[in-house]
Amino acid sequence: MEPQARYSLVADALLVTLLFVAFVVLGLVFIFVGKFLSWQWIRNPWFRVIHLLGIGVVVLQTWFGVICPLTIWEMDLRSKAGETIYEGSFITYWLTELLYYQAPSWVFLVCYTIFGGLVLASWFLVRPRAFSVGFQSGA
């Protein structure tokens, strides 16, 4: 396999970040739906902490003007493969491409911040279970 093809393949593999986006967005939907449908898994403290940290990183990166390291890596690989690269963050680019929506960066900053606030609010509105400290014997 030629180097350019390898770079392109690895850059495509980085699009797995779509799974991260789906986790963050659908996670919040599932938390609120799960409250009304009494799904116990949505109260799993590990799921909730990872979910909160995931959107927290996105919000902080946006506020500090930092592009996701995976996006930077993907763009570098695409450049080495001789492909066209895009500007801005991965999410901004794909939202623009998929929705044909042009918006200034501050719009995404506000949207990410509001969404992050909703995830934080879900922590209090749909309380996760406490972390268990060990095994309990059933004697």
39 vs 12, higher pLDDT: 39
pLDDT tens-digit series, residues 15-26 = 666 778 889 999
- For 32-46, 72-86, 106-120, 123-137, which range has the lowest pLDDT when averaged over its residues? 72-86
Token pair of 80 as six digits = 């080495």
| Half-sphere exposure of residue 107: CA atoms within 13 angstroms, side-chain side | 8
In the structure, what pLDDT confidence band is assigned to residue 13 with cuts at 50, 70 and 90? low
pLDDT tens-digit series, residues 40-97 = 999 999 999 999 999 999 899 889 988 777 777 777 777 887 877 766 666 666 665 6
Give the pLDDT mean for 117-129: 96
Q: Where are the alpha helices (DSSP H) in the chain?
A: 3-13, 17-37, 45-63, 69-80, 90-99, 105-125
Strand ranges for 33-106 from DSSP E = none
Rounded Cα gap, residues 25 and 32, in angstroms: 12
